[in-house]
Amino acid sequence: DFNDASTYYNVSTVNYLAAGSCNFNDAGKTLWPLDQIVADTQYYVRDAVIDYITYKGIVSPAIEGRLNFITDTAGPVITITSPVAKDYLRTDTLTFNFGATDVPAGVKKIEAKLDGSLVTNGQSLDLFILALGEHTFTVNAWDKAGNQSTQSVTFTVSATVDTLVTSINRFVAEGKIDNSGIRNSLVKKLQGVQDAVKKGQLVPAINKLQAFINEVQAQSGKHITTDAANQLIADAQWVIAHLK
């Protein structure tokens, strides 16, 4: 007994294990000292098999499938359903949907990251909190044979005049814009931008967007919180850069 040196048990085993093979040893010394052998039957496993078959007369051996030897050098097949490589609006909500399959070894682990931060399958993300521009979603998967696969999708978060209006209303609801007059003034400027764009007047539209930016800057830290102001300015600058 490894917990009580004065207690012993009789163990029936094969001499191969009794001699310390198959890791039944401690630094090369068998766990069952040979000088403590009570009885060595000299009855071999092969003789037990012979005697069994002789007794039965007929045996029907079958492959049990307990051991499977596989040759697998390919990593798992990764599927990314969402996101896809496209432009998403600032006001969109993105739900991550991905998976992996592997034959014959089977998938051991799957991991996904958005711009280096871990995300989970089925997780929803409010794109309102992401910076404008490109973002990379990457999935890594490993199979039980140690092979790895990687797949990535790059998508873009963009802003429009409509998303700017939605952002203003959201900031009002969140208390980040605390003056209805300022809210109305900003929305009116954006309506002017929309009217100019519909008429194909890009220069007046850009001028109105610049006036929008100037008003937001003037109210930053006052009636508009700094973080809300920075986001509105960045979005307006994005719209200016992508006006056609």
Encode pLDDT of 87-145 as tens digits: 999 999 999 999 999 988 899 999 999 999 999 999 999 999 999 999 999 999 999 98
CA 176, 181, 182, 185 torsion: positive or negative? positive
- The mean pLDDT of the chain is 92
pLDDT score at 38: 81
3-state percent helix, strand, coil for the chain, nearest multiple of 5: 35, 25, 40
pLDDT score at 24: 75
pTM: 0.70
Separation in Å, CA 122 to CA 51, 79, 94, 99, 162: 60, 14, 10, 11, 28
pLDDT score at 182: 96
Q: How far apart are CA 139 and CA 241, in angstroms?
A: 32
Contact status, residue 1 vs residue 7, Cβ threshold 8 Å: yes
Give the least confident one: 64-68, 78-82, 157-161, 196-200: 64-68
pLDDT score at 151: 98
Asked if the model's pLDDT at residue 233 lies above 80, the reply is yes
pLDDT score at 79: 97
Over residues 143-167, the mean pLDDT reads 96
Contact status, residue 113 vs residue 102, Cβ threshold 8 Å: no
Residues 6+ away with beta carbon under 8 Å from 193: 161, 205, 208, 209, 212, 239
Q: How far apart are CA 122 and CA 93, in angstroms?
A: 12
Q: Which element (helix H / strand E) includes 108? A: strand 107-114
Q: What is the DSSP letter of 177?
A: B
Q: How far apart are CA 156 and CA 158, in angstroms?
A: 6
pLDDT digits (tens, 9 = 90+) for 26-67: 787 777 777 777 888 888 889 999 999 999 998 888 888 887
